Each structure stands twice: as structure tokens, then as C-alpha cells.
Amino acid sequence: MEKFSLYIDGKFVETADCFESINPATEKAWASIARAKQSEVGQAVSAAKRAFDSGCWSGLSAGERAKFLYQIADALERHAPMLAAIETKDTGKIIRETSNQIAYIAEYYRYYAGLADKAEGSFVPVDKPDMHVWLAREPVGVVAAIIPWNSQLFLTAVKLAPALAAGCTMVIKASEEAPAPLLAFAKVIDEVDLPAGVVNIITGFADDCGQVLTTHPDIAKIAFTGGVSTARRIVQNSAQNLAQVSLELGGKSPFIVFDDADLDSAVNAQLAAIFAASGQSCVAGSRLLVQSGIKDKFLSQLLARLDGIRIGAPDDMATEYGPLCTQKQIAFIEQVVANSLVQGAKLLVGGKRLNRQGNYYPPTVLDCTAAPQAECVMTELFGPVLSVDVFDSEEEAVAKANQTAFGLASGVFTTNLSRAHRMTKAIRAGVVWVNTYRAISPLVPFGGYGLSGHGRESGKEAMLDYTTVKSVWVRTSDEAIVDPFVMR
């Protein structure tokens, strides 16, 4: 069994307690994971605090920090095959996806390396002629990053790269589910030879790791990606240290297809939107809203394509669809699907776990036109389940798209340019894709509305979120300040 250690203060750290990680494709334990408890969390935060206060990172010039970020990008590319293999083994994500994604993640570190010296201050022309005032941006301090198991190296990059560029230090907590890829990423950090304590990587469970980290008095900011229930606990925890909090949560994203859309393109995008990564994506386009006149044609094409999906071992490059990460998630999906059928939804395909070793649950489509409020329509499943509803007018499409407490992503398929612009304005979501889906770039901010969280990742805005503004007043007059207690 492979062993994975914590990474604290520039060293790999063993712990008294460990736990096992399960390979989703075999349902067998394959790795022993060091478990951080209160003492290790304290060591990690202390190391990050010391690195920040000493100036060994925050005191570097932006150009010097940028050089380290370029080195991380290069090292990440060198280790990409190793990281992709570990992520596939630990999470069940197919190797063709992990390989492509990790190769692109390096661009995020390069982007923020180039942005590191762009956090400019500004001169303020105040109404006092004897005052010279400017604003300076400074790093917020020690950041706690809480990372989920899915796409964890990407979700680390969109936090770590801007935080390092801004001059912050960080303690990264990997999910207790499938944490091996992020712990393996410590080898990349160690190879770059950052100053000790700048980046620390730990994992553990909620009460003796997550809660200790997010309530720690030396944490200045918490950057969290995950579910709503955990986010609520983190917000409560932040009341202890009054840390800034950014939340990138889940979604129930509408995928809207008008009758003038290119159907072949829309079908391909819908397949990618909900069945890529076996549906385990926060931006999954899990609610298909299709104009009523093309519903049958669209579903016919979609279901025909599902018949040809190659389901197999995630480490096989020929596999197009792999297992889900945990048995717990399958059980949850099965219950929601069963409830939805009772509520009036109609099962078109899938709906029952596959009879094979591993956490395999098939692509599932539910026609919910007779049950638009069914549980599968309103609940984020984080799995390969697509609910289908129809609309007749543009106004109805908008109303149904916005009929959710979430607001992370959305997709609109139409060849009518005017309609596309109206839809992008009307939909309440942090991301609107038009005639595409799941496109990302380090230059473009990403985040949501409502229960999908607040704050943005990627883009210049993300780096500025890891800074705070300092106002500097300089009195330029040579005259003595008047006595405040002398009446004039």
C-alpha cells in the first residue's frame, strides 16, 4: 500500500494516525494517508505565519515571487504523468481527463506569475492641499484553502497561484475523500524549494482538522470549494477569527436549447456538460431546458449517443466514462432518483448502478416535464443525472433557468445573436456559456450567485481578493500642526 505524508514547514511529516483511501474502480484500499489532527494543524499554521511575518515570502519583490511561480508551472508539467495517474487511481476520474487537465493547470501558475507585479496602488487627490495620500495593496496574510476531491489540482491552482502572487502564505487542506493527488503535489512544491512554511499541505477530518484550521486565530482568509452544508459550518467557524471567506460552491446549472440551435453541437455540449467526469462537477449542466418543438429530436440524438459511451477502467485511455468516487454518493443519487420517480419523473435511461466491480453508476436521464419540481430537478446530485424539462417562450426559459437557489453556471444554445445577449443578461449565474460549455481560462473570473457562493477565482480579481488596501497619509506642510486645544 502506498503511503502519503503531510507537508509542513518544508518537510514531509508522518503522523501517529493514518486512514485508508479507496480506489473507486476496485473498491479496495490502495493508499495509507497521514491524518492531521490539532497538533499538526497548529504546526502548519504556525509555519505559514512565521513565513509570512518574517518576510521571506511577503517581503520578496513581486518579480522574485513570479520566478517561483514559473518554477511551479515547470515542475507541474514534469510531474504531470505521475499526478494524473494518482488522481485517476484515487478518484476514479478517467486518465484522459486528468492528463489533459493537469497539463493545462500549469498555465494558471504562469498567468499569475505575470500578474504578480500588477497589484498597483493609486494616488488619491484628497481635498486637503497639505496632504499626499496613496493606497497600497498588501497581502492579507495566512490563507486556509479547503479543497474538495474532484479536480483538486485545478481547484488548488486557482487559489494557490493568486495567493502566492499576492504575497500570502497558505495551509491547504485536502479532502479526506481521495486526498492522495494533492499530497503528491507536495513533491512539486518541495522540488521548487520555496521558503519553508510558504505552502503547507495537510488532510484530515472535520472536527480535529477542518474546524481547527478554519477557527485558528492566525488565519486571515479562508478559500473554500465544496458543498453548501460544509460552507455554512465554515462561515460559522470564521466568526471565531473573523477571517475573510470566499466560497465556490455547487450548482444546478440550466442547459437551455432553443429550436434554432445547432443540434449536433448542442448534443455534444450536453454530453460534456453532465456526463464528463461522471457528472462530478460543480458546473455540471444537470437541467436540460429544451424548446418544446425540438424536445423529441434532441432527446433521440442524446440517448443514441449514450448507447455508444465506452464505460471502463479509468486508467485505460480508451475509457470515456468511469466510476463515481464513493459508494456514499451512489446511494444518495439512487435515493433522489427513486424519490423523483414517485414524484412523477419518467426514467428514460440508466437509474440503476451497474453490475460490475467498482462505483459505477450509468448516465441517467429523467424526463421531468410532468414533474418540474421533482427532487432531481432542485437538488445538486454531483453525479451523472440529467433532468429534462421544456419551454415554449424565451421568457419561460428564463423563468425556469432562474428557478433555483443556485447560480453558478449556465449554457444557452441559439443562433439568434440578439436572443443570446438577452439571455446572458437575464440568467442569474456567475458564468453564462453561449453555444459552448465548460470553457475555462486563467484570465476569466469564475464564481456564483446565491447558494453557489461568493467571491471569484481566476482572473485579476482573484489575486486582488488576496490583498487588502492600506491608506497612507503624508502631511507635506512645514508649518507646525496647530494646538487642538486653543480656540480660534
- Give the full edge-to-edge strand order of the sheet including 28-34: 2-4, 28-34, 18-23
Collapsed DSSP state (helix, strand, coil) of residue 159: helix
DSSP states of 318-351: T-SB---S-HHHHHHHHHHHHHHHHTT-EEEE--
* 208 contacts: CB under 8 Å, gap ≥ 6: 37, 38, 41
Residues 305 and 298: their CA atoms lie apart, in Å, by 11
Is the CB of residue 312 less than 8 Å from the CB of residue 349? no
**Active-site pick, 177, 248, 375, 457:** 248
The residue among 284, 286, 285, 282 whose CA lies nearest residue 250 is 282
Residues 414 and 320: their CA atoms lie apart, in Å, by 27
Residues 135 and 121: their CA atoms lie apart, in Å, by 5
Residues 161 and 462: their CA atoms lie apart, in Å, by 9
The three-state (H, E, C) secondary structure of 397-465, written as one string: HHHHHCCCCCCCCCEEECCCHHHHHHHHHHCCCCCCEECCCCCCCCCCCECCCHHHEECCECHHHHHHC
What are the φ and ψ backbone dihedral angles of 23, each rounded to 5 degrees? -75, 115
The residue among 408, 376, 386 whose CA lies nearest residue 250 is 408
The residue among 297, 296, 276, 293 whose CA lies nearest residue 285 is 276
248 catalytic residue (yes or no) = yes
Q: 62-91 vs 152-166: helix axis angle to the nearest 10?
A: 170
Residues 363 and 32: their CA atoms lie apart, in Å, by 31
Is the CB of residue 145 less than 8 Å from the CB of residue 57? no
Is the CB of residue 279 less than 8 Å from the CB of residue 150? no
Q: Which helix (H) or strand (E) holds 486?
A: none
Taken as a whole, the chain contains a residue count of 488
The residue among 445, 410, 408, 390 whose CA lies nearest residue 285 is 410
Computed over its alpha carbons, how large is the radius of gyration of the chain? 25
C-alpha cell at 199: 505552502
Point out the residues that are catalytic.
Answer: 248
